[in-house]
């Protein structure tokens, strides 16, 4: 039998699982397996008892302060449940983003394609000299020149400023004619606009916008001899429009048109109310 002794209180124990003295917590020391003297038998603690025989009757057992039972010792906190939970949440978020992408992106692409198709629906190549003279009117499209609630601005009084403004407007007007940009033309032309072609054909705004087509033959254009006549809220601009046109054989031919465009100050901007275009005699263009 293995006997353990407490160096402090000299008590002996035979419990093989006991390593500390149950009275003072001192680590036990093994002693030789020798017969225990009769006078020490009273100090031996039975393996099944929890209180020493010599302890005072009724004294409650208190474990030593430094002794902590094995089953009560704190262990390390496990972190793997947190890792698993985080990875699960991350997978759910990624799955949600993938689902949203699969649902919304195709819809956005379809909407973009539909808008592009509507924008280019009426853009078709036209003849080489289609509507060069800004001959157009559209009485039905009054939505382009709606009156706004903005504060009314008086018309400019400086002829040089008006000439600069109308020159820029003529370039914008020419580009809109070449590209058959009906939205831009609706804004440039007044609702009561009337234009006269070089062949004498008269068109209103609505008829012109209905028949205009894109002109891809014009390679270059420029304005010459521009003069403005300003009278209050009305102004007239005269000049020559020179263009270079590529014919069906691929040749570049010069053309020139003398024009008179009239404007009125409405909705705080200049709007064209009429235009008259004639072929320059020395341009080589048949009227």
Q: What's the average pLDDT block by block, 10 residues per block, for the chain (287 residues)? A: 82 80 82 53 43 42 50 61 87 85 73 53 40 43 53 93 95 93 95 92 92 90 94 96 91 93 96 93 50
Residue 252 resides in a domain: yes
- C-alpha closest to that of 209 among 117, 154, 107, 140: 140
135 within some domain: no
**What pLDDT is stored for residue 115 in this prediction?**
54
Are residues 263 and 171 part of one domain? yes
Of 174, 133, 159, the residue nearest 235 (C-alpha): 159
Domain presence at residue 214: yes
Task: Say if residue 235 is in the same domain as residue 159.
Answer: yes
Residue 228 lies in a domain: yes
What is the reported pLDDT for 281? 64
Burial of residue 138 (CB within 10 Å: 0-12, 13-18, 19+) is buried
Domains of the chain: total: 2
Helices (H), 2-122: 80-119
Closest CA to 193 of 184, 181, 202: 202
Whole-Å CA distances, 161 to 109, 152, 175, 228, 237:
45, 19, 22, 10, 13
Residue 214 β-bridge partners = 125
Q: Is residue 104 part of a domain?
A: no
Tokens encoding 222 = 């420029």
Q: What's the confidence (pLDDT) of residue 59?
A: 45
Range of the domain at 36: 1-81
């Amino acid at each position: 039998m293995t006997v353990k002794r407490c160096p402090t209180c000299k008590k002996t124990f035979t419990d093989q699982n006991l390593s500390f003295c149950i009275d003072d917590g001192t680590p036990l020391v093994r002693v030789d397996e020798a017969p225990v003297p009769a006078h020490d038998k009273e100090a031996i603690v039975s393996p099944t008892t929890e209180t020493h025989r010599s302890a005072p009757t009724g004294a409650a057992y208190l474990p030593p302060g430094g002794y902590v039972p094995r089953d009560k010792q704190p262990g390390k906190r496990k972190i793997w449940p947190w890792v698993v939970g985080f990875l699960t949440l991350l997978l759910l978020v990624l799955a949600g983003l993938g689902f949203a992408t699969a649902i919304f992106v195709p819809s956005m692409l379809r909407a973009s394609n539909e808008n592009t198709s509507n924008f280019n629906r009426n853009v078709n190549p036209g003849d080489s000299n289609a509507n060069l003279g800004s001959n157009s009117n559209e009485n039905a499209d009054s939505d382009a020149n709606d009156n706004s609630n903005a504060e009314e601005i008086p018309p400019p009084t400086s002829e040089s400023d008006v000439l600069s403004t109308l020159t820029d407007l003529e370039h914008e007007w020419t580009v809109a004619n070449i590209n058959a940009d009906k939205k831009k033309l609706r804004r440039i032309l007044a609702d009561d606009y009337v234009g006269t072609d070089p062949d004498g054909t008269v068109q209103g705004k609505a008829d012109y916008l209905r028949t205009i087509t894109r002109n891809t033959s014009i390679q270059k254009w420029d304005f010459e001899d521009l003069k403005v006549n300003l009278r209050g809220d009305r102004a007239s601009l005269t000049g020559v429009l020179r263009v270079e046109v590529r014919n069906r054989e691929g040749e570049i031919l010069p053309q020139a048109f003398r024009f008179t465009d009239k404007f009125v100050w409405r909705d705080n901007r200049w709007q064209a109310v009429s235009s008259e275009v004639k072929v320059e005699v020395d341009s080589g263009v048949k009227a």
